[in-house]
Amino acid sequence: MYARNAVNIYAQVGTQTAAMDASPHKLITMLYDGARAAIARAKFHLEAGEVPARGNAISKAIDIIDNGLRAVLDHQAGGEISADLEALYEYMVRRLMLANLRKDISLLNEVDALLENLASAWAQIENPVPQAAPLPALQES
């Protein structure tokens, strides 16, 4: 029991330290990772029949999506992309609530896949695929 609490506290301190040192881009990555981790915990608790823990994990994922990812959208600079992301985040929140109500792991998997796709796209923004060097011009003999 005490070891588990110590591990949880250590993880919280590590996350807080990482967040304080992170760039805005890295913070978004951390939010995606946190939401996906909460969904993974929700799936585990759903399969184990642990209703309160499942509800807490789903609530954590909803909180991250709603008060983290959705809250930082810049509608003036983001335009249509920002509006589309807001609609997608709202959809995810509704699906997570429905997953909890119906005890439906497929809905958790659906939201996790959406988050995975967004996280992957976000990672490519920070680390774009390097362009191939142009081929040298052929010299005529």
Confidence of residue 75 (pLDDT cuts 50, 70, 90): confident
Q: What is the pLDDT of residue 9?
A: 43
Is 17 part of any domain? no
Computed from CA positions of residues 89, 83, 15, 125, in that sequence, does the dihedral angle turn out positive or negative? positive
Residue 116: CB atoms within 10 A of its CB come to 13
Q: What is the pLDDT of residue 119?
A: 95
Average of per-residue pLDDT values in the chain: 83
Residue holding tokens 């896949």?
113
Residues 8-59 pLDDT 10s:
444 454 445 454 556 778 889 999 999 999 999 999 999 999 999 999 999 9
Is 118 part of any domain? yes
Residue 81: CB atoms within 10 A of its CB come to 12
For residue 110, the enclosing domain spans: 23-125
Is 15 part of any domain? no
Query: Which CATH number covers residue 35?
Result: 1.20.120.340
Instruction: Read off the pTM.
Output: 0.76
Which uninterrupted H or E stretch holds 1? none
Q: What is the pLDDT of residue 76?
A: 86
Q: Which tokens in the block code for residue 91?
A: 């959809």
Type of residue found at 52: P
